[in-house]
Every structure is written in structure tokens, then in C-alpha cells.
Structure 1
Amino acid sequence: MGLSKTQRKTRIRRRIRKVSSGTAARPRLSVFRSNSEIYAQVIDDVKGITLVSASSRDKDIAKAKGNKTEIAALVGKSIAEKSVKAGLDKVAFDRGGNLYHGRVKSLADGAREAGLKF
């Protein structure tokens, strides 16, 4: 019997985290996608702290109209603006076991548009 959907995603997430780690110079942009929301964090794994975060539940983004893909692009722009303001312009992208497609790709494209490099 094959793996369930959640087991497969967990296996992919662990495989990504083996090689992807955030430092002070190049923190990790971690993406979590639920059925209805999307969250992004910029993390320094050496210190174990979250430097910047944004989500579709933030007040300014929650008021926006549009489908989930458009909201994800707004979250990407928001996390990029906060990161650039904090002095972080380069990050390592961690898609969190999700396929680089749809909302995850939209978030990444929004972050790139707003000046984040990965």
C-alpha cells in the first residue's frame, strides 16, 4: 500500500529541510498552506527565531477581495516588503512539501515582484 497524502507531504517536507536551512545572512522563507489560508515566515534557523511573518489572516490582506491565488500574491508582497524593511533581501525558499504550483507559486512571484531574491 502506498503512502497517504499527509505521509507523502511529511516525507517531502523532511527531505527539503535536510538541505534547506536559514542563516542570519540568508534566512529561510517558509510557506504553510491550509485549505483556506496561507502563511509565510522568514526564519533564522541558527538562532531559532522568526524574523518576519505574514498571512492571509492579516487585517489589511483579509479585507482584500479576490480568489485564493490573488490573496497568496498579496501575502508574498507583504512578506517581501516587511523583509526588505528589516534589511533582508535574500532568502532560501521552503515550499513546505507543497508543489510549486498555484498558491505557492503565486506567493513566490509576489515576493519576487516586491524585491525579495531567492
Structure 2
Amino acid sequence: MSKPPLDDLALRKLMLQQRCAVQREVLAVQVRQTFAPAVRTVAQVKAGGQWVKEHPWLVALAGGLLLAWRPRVAVGLLGRGWGLWQTWRRLRPTVQRVLELVRQAQPPQT
């Protein structure tokens, strides 16, 4: 005698749910691997920004020396820095959203 069709459907549903769970885990791993270099770069930039905040007098001294030694280079760097700052201000919300999505894709660590 064969099994009732409802048992077959319930088993198929369970198998599909398990397959979807595995695919979600694989996708989460792929997303983490894809964005890992960007996340590391952001962490390094944040660490550099923190260093600058902790040592502003060294940055000012280096800027003053560069301005005295190579004024054109210093002005060019200042212009590029300003442009980078403006770009960062525009991209920051998007970058933060992407990083939050990456954090959400990571399984909880126990």
C-alpha cells in the first residue's frame, strides 16, 4: 500500500525548507567573503582617523612642513582632500547601509 499524498507533500515541504536554509547560509558566507576586503579597509581607515584624532599636532606639523617645503604640492593635496571629504559625505549613508546588511548576514557567534 502506498503512502497518502499528504505525507509526501509534507516531506517535500520539509526538504524544500531545509534546502532553502542551506542556500541562505551559503549566500551569507558568499556575501561576507565578497565584502570582507571592503570591511577591512573601512576598519583600517577608521583606525587611521582615530590616530589622527589622537595626534593632531603631528598632522599639523607635517602639514606645515609640507606647506613650507612644497607649497604647490600642499595646496594640491588640500584640494584633493577636500574633494575626498565631499565624496565621503555623500557616500557615507550608503556605505553604512551596506555594512549593516553585511553584519546582519553574519550568523550569531556563540
TM range (shorter): under 0.3
Greater Rg over alpha carbons, structure: 2
Answer 1 or 2: which has greater strand percent. Answer: 1
Answer 1 or 2: which has greater helix percent. Answer: 2
TM-score, normalised relative to structure 1: 0.23
